[in-house]
Structure 1
Amino acid sequence: MYRVTKSISFCYGHRLLDYDGKCRHLHGHNARAIITLEGETLDEQGMLYDFNEIRGLVKDWIDAELDHNMLLHRDDPILPALREAGERVYVVDWNPTAENIARMIFEHIAAAGYPVKDVTLWETETCYASYSSR
């Protein structure tokens, strides 16, 4: 198997509902998504996928949907105030944990037809979560 990996950095804010730690408060992260694609064959250039192609697929979507955005659960009571203030919010049906954000990025790539093996989301310099196909 061949594998290629692309790293994409972005910033986002969130908070976790029904959580008893510091993450119950609104806060932000400088995140890094590590995306790995896997396949058995290379193209005529000798590549599994061009890194620029991966960047275009993932970075453009992350920039539009996640970067400098508040990721919040649909039941978060702060949503009406943020919307009224014209703030960017990305509403999800689950707590926006690093695990769930990694899964969301994975599913975006898979839905586009790419053979994504795993996505790791570094939430801080010392903490990360991953989601994989196996």
Structure 2
Amino acid sequence: MSTIRITKQFNFETGHALYGYDGKCKNVHGHSYKLSVTVSGKPIKDNTNVKFGMVIDFGDLKKIVNEEIVDIFDHATVFNKNTPHVELAKELQARDHHVILVDYQPTSEMMVIDFAEKIKNRLPENIKLYSIKLQETDSSFAEWFASENK
């Protein structure tokens, strides 16, 4: 049977700041992110299976991505914990803000790498992560492809 790719799209709002950056993005700001997750696999052949004909149930993929990314990053502010931004993060947390501290500069490029790892770890064995596209503005996005990251 043919290998098929399916894609599910997600939206979430996240703030961040890029420590040490020489432009406006050094300031805390936010984006309306659009995340596209593409997986590949073979449709289920067993006609007694309730998911007959599916590569993966879109609902199952949605559950994985929501639990690993959307529910965590939506309306959060992300900072690199290895920079002085950690002090700002502590202040925001003390004021009951949702802050995420990561081990990387929270650029779209680094976030998409993080997201790929989180999603890959949750997919069923027979389903492969094909690509992820993280769009931070109408004209700017980062992409991750499994074929380039073996």
TM bucket normalised to smaller: over 0.9
1:19 is matched with 21
1:89 is matched with 99
2:60 is matched with 53
2-structure distance, mates of 1:125, 1:108: 25
What is the SS of the residue equivalent to 1:6?
strand
1:122 is matched with 135
Shift of the alpha carbon at 1:60? 3.1
Bigger-Rg structure (1/2): 2
Structure 2 segments unaligned to the other structure (5+ residues) = 47-51
Shift of the alpha carbon at 1:61? 2.9
**Which residue identity is paired with 2:43?**
L
2:34 is matched with 32
Calculate percent identity across the aligned residue pairs. Answer: 29
Shift of the alpha carbon at 1:2? 1.0
Say whether the 8 Å CA contact 1:5–1:34 is kept in structure 2: yes
Does residue 72 (structure 1) correspond to residue 79 (structure 2)? The answer is yes
What is the SS of the residue equivalent to 2:139?
coil
**Which residue identity is paired with 1:124?**
T
Select 1:109's aligned residue among 100, 103, 119: 119
Kindly report the root-mean-square deviation, in angstroms, between the aligned alpha carbons of the 2 structures: 1.3
**Which residue identity is paired with 2:117?**
E
1-structure distance, mates of 2:91, 2:80: 14
Shift of the alpha carbon at 1:81? 1.2
Say whether the 8 Å CA contact 1:30–1:123 is kept in structure 2: yes
Structure 1 segments unaligned to the other structure (5+ residues) = none
What is the SS of the residue equivalent to 2:14?
strand
Shift of the alpha carbon at 1:51? 1.0
Shift of the alpha carbon at 1:125? 1.0
The more displaced of 42-51 and 13-22 is 42-51
Return the TM-score normalized by structure 1.
0.93
2-structure distance, mates of 1:110, 1:60: 13
2:4 is matched with 2
Q: Which ranges of 4 or more aligned residues in structure 1 deviate by more than 3 Å? A: none
2-structure distance, mates of 1:64, 1:31: 13
